[in-house]
Structure 1
Amino acid sequence: MKENMKYIQLNNVFLIIASLIVGYYNIWAGIVMAVICVISIRKQIIEKQKYDEKMDSYVETFNMTMDYKTRQSISNLNLPLCMCNTEGIIVWYNKRFSEMVGKKGLFGDKISEYFYEIEMDIIIENANGSFDIDKKEERYFKAIYTLNKSKEEKDNTVMIYFQDVTDLENMKLLYEHSKPVVITANVDSFDEVFDSTDEKNRPQLEAEIERLMKTWAEEHKLAIRKISKDKYFMVTTEDELIKMEEERFSILDSIRSIDIKNLIPISISMGVSPFVNSLRETQLISNSALDISLGRGGDQVAIKRNDKYFFYGGKSKAIEKKTRVKARIIGYALRDLLNESKNVLVMGHQFPDLDSLGSSLGVVAIAEMLGKEAKIVIEAPNSSIDVLYNRIKSSEEYGNVFIKSEEAIRYMTSDTLLVVVDTHNPKFTEVPRLVDKSDRIVVIDHHRRGPEFIEKAVLVYHETYASSASEMVTELVQYIKERPKLNPQAAEALLSGITLDTKNFTFKTGVRTFEAAAFLRKHGADTVSVKTLFQGDMESFMIKAEALNKVRIFEEKIAITYCPKTMDNPQLIASQIADELLNLKGVQASFVIASSRGKEVQISARSLGDINVQIIMEKLGGGGHIETAGTQIRDITIEEALDKVEEQISLYLKEEEK
């Protein structure tokens, strides 16, 4: 009301000046303006009198309802207290309230001018309750209100008193910052690194790792315990964890910089969990976070906080394991599960590619070696697999191997083994309902692990160093029987999957990759026939040419482009363009955006290894590997997708600079 009076007074001054100016030029018009001015001022005086009478009535009513001693007690109460009408206008307050606000003469002011958190609509609706007040003058308050009802609704008042909760809030803050945090650490591929180091330098290597870990632990007040040659258990506080995050876990860089003439670079992975319910549960979550970190290739920290994962690091490539011990153990376990099953269902990810289809057919071949019927679940083929799909469908041996989702659900029984290949995310599988329905699931995947995983799987073969799911299945084939025989059709399908994910044996290609390819070649895989699976049509060729013509270089080392035309399945073309862009001199990473004829935009990302495209794609809802990643975004234009990609690239580069 006070603010309104100021505006009214300014308005009156304006009217008087206006009438004088008009009267100067035209006496009759000036008289009319003067009359209007007098009437307006008269009306405002009457309204002001009514408002003052109303305010006096509130105060008078308040005074009449309480005796002198009660009024004195409330006025002198060492607690900020005020009374408002139902419109939020202050009609009474005590000395402590005035001191808290830091102002006198508050009658007629609105309570919301000083405390925006107090909402009269909520007070009227609830009658009793409280509001948390933001920090004021280094103090925290809680506003506790009570609605006092009168015979006349217009005479209702609200009593509000303010409780100082600063000590309680500071105690909460202290508790939050001192809560325990459990960290589980693992030196990545310790045996491989140790074996690659000269025997005389091995003690020094182990001592240097331990020295760096203990120095870092002392810096951040960590209680640290080495529980095996390559594992550490640590406990710290939330306050120290915040500091570690601010410096982006510098221990990762320190460990990575160790050079004791070890041929394989050394790195460390960590799983971190802030306190959750009990120390036991916190430790279990920390172990789970470590599994996530290792599943993503290691050399990183995974923090699970409020059901969300936060990642730091991830700059190194997964180290290929020379030994096949794990592949042999998984092969034997898979054989036992197949022997116990009535039939088998195999499925890959949505929008399957050659690796997904090739590894699926490889699993079918394994099942048939053991005399088990197996089917591949594919809802519909796409342009990236249609040639291989039609070859398989027209073959004599595998002509009836494909089934759709509804048929698969009818096909599944309690004795059916479900094998998921080339993905570990239940939402990305061809038919997520099958994952929900089955209790006997095997997962075979090579992608870096994300937060969502098929947790109820009875057997998991997850190796991020592997080039492809097809390579992993090829190794399993060799341990199912003593002398396995693989159909040439299945061998070609597996070889096509390896060829796709290694970009024709260029990326992520290790010794075991060539050994797997040699095994497939021995069993009849024709490399020329595989080559034809990658041929495109004229329309695709022209789309690639247009996209290459629109390339621009971002930050002098990243190539970005887009396909101007929509396509039925943009994944294959986008990935091929991204691969091609890496041939440009100076380009370390490439991003290609393509739009489907639906409402999806496909983003394919490739890297030579210095830039981790997986981290960038994860920010946009996707994933992959350091060198190969991608994502799909719905309901977005090409231009908006370009902006998002550039924004995430800029953020990534800034973080790397730090």
Structure 2
Amino acid sequence: MKNIKESPNEIENDKSFLWNRRWIFICGMILAFLYMALAPSSKPINVMILVLLCGIYGYNEYKIQHLFLQRHLNKIKRILPEDIRIPANMPLPYVILGKQKNIILYNEAFAAIFPQKNLEQADFANLLQEYKPNVFWQIVAIGDTAYEIYSQKSEVWDSSKNETIEVYSLCFVSQAEKKLLKQSIEEQKTVVGLLFLDNYEEVVDSLDESRLPLLTAMIDRKLNSLAVSVGGIIKKFEKDRYIFLLSRGKLEELKEKKFEILNEIRELSVGDHIPVTISIGIGIGDESLELAHKNARAAMDLALGRGGDQVLIKTGEKYLFYGGKSGEVGHNARIRARVKADALWELIGGATDVLVMGHKQADFDSLGAAMGICPITRTMGKPCHIVLNTVSAGIDSLYNKIIHTEGYEKLFVTGEEASSLLTDKTLLIITDTHRYSMTEHPPLIDRAKKVVLFDHHRKSTDFIDNAVLIYHEPYASSTCELITEMIQYFGEKIKLKPIEADALLAGITVDTKNFCMKTGAITFEAAAFLRRNGGDSIRVRKLFQNDILSYKIRAAIVKNAEIFQDKFAISVCEEEGEDALLVTAQAADELLNIKGVTASFV
């Protein structure tokens, strides 16, 4: 609180101002009356003189009142504490009220809210009837706009009255402007991105050495141009790796354009070489840049796990996916297969027994891959069991052949039985899935001390990340292909039984749709290896045979199909039962054989 007295100069200036104005007015009155006395017959002129005198009198009194009002306001400004004075050029509407809610001070932004009102002597209670006194925060509607009002009560010392008075400072915040401000703040937050060249080594091997600097320069120029266009920065920290920063608002622009940089990099060419593909992991962390970088790394790991050539954005626990159109790329696949084979051999050697578990509703790839583990454990003298709760209609033919094979009569156990077999020395191997919830018996993962994972599906967000060995290759046609690759590196010490080779070959055949989809050189090499080691394509084909009822149901689905927009085949399976899911899948595949059909729905 402050006690401010008026200075002598202020008082003298005010007296001089009042005396000058009154002296001018008195002189004017004397001259006017003298004229009217000397010329009484000039009535129109006399009337004009009286009107002029009244005008001069009114204007004089207005200026006098304005002077005292201005002096009063200046006095209030001086005695108000610093924390409730109106800052210069404050953009938010601001007003200071007296104890009786009379307006003392306000800024131009506050006056703009009430453009038709005379605010200097206005009663705030009448001006804004919705206002509730002594409430720190409230929302009121003024016209079509909602405002948040923040109020503060203060006490100041009034020297003229020799007492403490109460004043209230009110700040108005438009909710619409507040929303825009919050949006602007969000858009200015920094996000962290990682960018990797997926297949750098493969591109180098396929490119003439003299052209490599040119291709590298083209890639760098394209990425730098992208960074400049979005107002960001990008830094190359390895020959095939970059880190970049940009605002969240500019990230939205890239999302709207579906990250065209993926196609632009893929189209770069300096000759006959493998197209360059990139993966981008972007992290958003509201709390810190450290969290944003952590999210970017997690997004990049998932992008590479899904095969590359795509963009993943991670914020919190949510992921957004863009791209991934060029198909998976194998990165030094043979080297990794050999490394994983050696690691698996050591893990099985250090275990007392092995449990193999696939996914729910097991298919040929899941069961075939599990069977591929059996010859390895048999060679090393380790007991092995496959966890299978229910036998789906699709694999019953293979299942029946397995359980009637010598030595495999008690190969399969349920999830509960596997729990009783599990010890600290048990090795749990998961095949054809990397998702916790999709496994045949998830509690086994929680209890197992050592978990190994083999899968070829694109990586999802609920990845089993506590495995001691992960062989996850989206480039592969099937998990059976991955297992077969590793078996080849064990050499002649692994001897396959015909049922094991058939199971692996069946898994590859189904997932490649008879070697038509997602096949590569390694796929055919794996099939040839299995054929040399006892696999038989005729026996495998018989595993896929259906009974006459299933065949009729599938034929009915195809017969009743309708073609929509010349490219979509749509049909319905009227039958119910255990075979319905398998038959509908077979029918959907069959519909894709129709000329012009690009997608089928059953």
Q: TM-score, normalised by structure 2?
A: 0.73
CA distance in 1, matches of 2:147, 2:313: 31
CA contact (8 A) 2:308 2:329 kept: no
CA contact (8 A) 1:577 1:592 kept: no
State the partner residue of 1:331. Answer: 341
Deviates further, 573-582 or 380-389: 573-582
Tell me, what secondary structure is at the counterpart of 2:101?
helix
Deviation at 1:579, TM superposition (A): 2.0
> Aligned match of 1:202 in 190, 212, 224?
212
Q: Which amino acid aligns with 1:591?
A: S
- Residues 412-491 of structure 1: pairs in structure 2 closer than 5 A: 412-480=422-490, 483-491=493-501
CA distance in 1, matches of 2:290, 2:516: 45
Tell me, what secondary structure is at the counterpart of 2:522?
helix
Deviation at 1:138, TM superposition (A): 7.0
The answer to whether structure 1 residue 250 and structure 2 residue 260 are counterparts is yes
Deviation readout 1:633-657 (Å, 9 max, x if unpaired): xxxxxxxxxxxxxxxxxxxxxxxxx
State the partner residue of 1:373. Answer: 383
Deviation readout 1:587-643 (Å, 9 max, x if unpaired): 22x2333xxxxxxxxxxxxxxxxxxxxxxxxxxxxxxxxxxxxxxxxxxxxxxxxxx
Deviation at 1:180, TM superposition (A): 1.3
> Aligned match of 1:164 in 161, 173, 178?
173
CA contact (8 A) 2:452 2:470 kept: yes
CA distance in 2, matches of 1:413, 1:419: 14
> Aligned match of 1:72 in 100, 105, 111?
100
Residues 259 and 554 of structure 1: is their aligned pair in 2 closer, same or farther, counting only changes over 3 Å?
farther
Deviation readout 1:268-319 (Å, 9 max, x if unpaired): 1111111243323321221110111111221111111231111111211112
- Residues 152-301 of structure 1: pairs in structure 2 closer than 5 A: 163-164=172-173, 172-301=182-311
State the partner residue of 1:649. Answer: none
CA distance in 1, matches of 2:343, 2:451: 12
Residues 339 and 77 of structure 1: is their aligned pair in 2 closer, same or farther, counting only changes over 3 Å?
farther
CA distance in 2, matches of 1:244, 1:330: 38
Deviation at 1:136, TM superposition (A): 8.3
State the partner residue of 2:596. Answer: 586
Tell me, what secondary structure is at the counterpart of 1:547?
helix
State the partner residue of 2:415. Answer: 405
Q: How many residues in Structure 1 have an aligned counterpart in Structure 2?
A: 478
Deviation at 1:193, TM superposition (A): 2.5
Deviation at 1:420, TM superposition (A): 0.8
Deviation at 1:264, TM superposition (A): 2.7
Q: Which amino acid aligns with 1:586?
A: G
Residues 395 and 168 of structure 1: is their aligned pair in 2 closer, same or farther, counting only changes over 3 Å?
same
> Aligned match of 1:307 in 297, 317, 336?
317
The answer to whether structure 1 residue 141 and structure 2 residue 148 are counterparts is yes
Deviation readout 1:409-459 (Å, 9 max, x if unpaired): 111112111111101110111111112222311110000111110011111
Tell me, what secondary structure is at the counterpart of 2:293?
helix
Deviation at 1:184, TM superposition (A): 0.5
Give the % identical residues: 39
State the partner residue of 2:394. Answer: 384
CA distance in 2, matches of 1:461, 1:197: 29
Residues 518 and 136 of structure 1: is their aligned pair in 2 closer, same or farther, counting only changes over 3 Å?
farther
Deviation readout 1:394-422 (Å, 9 max, x if unpaired): 11121111000111111111211111110
State the partner residue of 1:650. Answer: none
Deviation readout 1:203-255 (Å, 9 max, x if unpaired): 33222222211111111122101122221111111111111112111111211
CA contact (8 A) 1:361 1:493 kept: yes
CA distance in 2, matches of 1:297, 1:77: 66
Deviation at 1:575, TM superposition (A): 2.5
Deviation at 1:375, TM superposition (A): 0.8
Deviation at 1:481, TM superposition (A): 5.3
CA contact (8 A) 2:592 2:600 kept: no
Deviation readout 1:369-413 (Å, 9 max, x if unpaired): 222111110001011000101111111121111000111111111
Structure 2 stretches lacking a partner, 5+ long: 1-96, 108-121, 153-169
CA distance in 2, matches of 1:296, 1:202: 27
The structure number with the bigger radius of gyration is 2
State the partner residue of 1:525. Answer: 535
Deviation readout 1:340-363 (Å, 9 max, x if unpaired): 212111111110000000001111
Tell me, what secondary structure is at the counterpart of 2:577?
coil
Tell me, what secondary structure is at the counterpart of 2:514?
coil
Deviation at 1:482, TM superposition (A): 5.7
CA contact (8 A) 2:550 2:579 kept: no
CA distance in 2, matches of 1:337, 1:144: 69
Highest RCO, 1 vs 2 (Cα 8 Å, sep ≥ 6):
2
Q: What's the C-alpha RMSD, in Å, of the aligned pairs?
A: 3.3
Deviation at 1:581, TM superposition (A): 2.0
The answer to whether structure 1 residue 349 and structure 2 residue 349 are counterparts is no
Structure 1 stretches lacking a partner, 5+ long: 1-68, 80-93, 101-105, 119-126, 146-160, 594-658
CA contact (8 A) 1:78 1:96 kept: no
CA contact (8 A) 1:76 1:95 kept: no
CA contact (8 A) 1:133 1:143 kept: no
Residues 141 and 511 of structure 1: is their aligned pair in 2 closer, same or farther, counting only changes over 3 Å?
same
Tell me, what secondary structure is at the counterpart of 1:562?
coil
The answer to whether structure 1 residue 513 and structure 2 residue 511 are counterparts is no
CA distance in 1, matches of 2:356, 2:182: 52
Deviation at 1:321, TM superposition (A): 4.5
Deviation at 1:195, TM superposition (A): 2.0
Deviates further, 250-259 or 442-451: 250-259
State the partner residue of 1:358. Answer: 368
CA contact (8 A) 1:575 1:592 kept: no
CA distance in 1, matches of 2:142, 2:506: 63
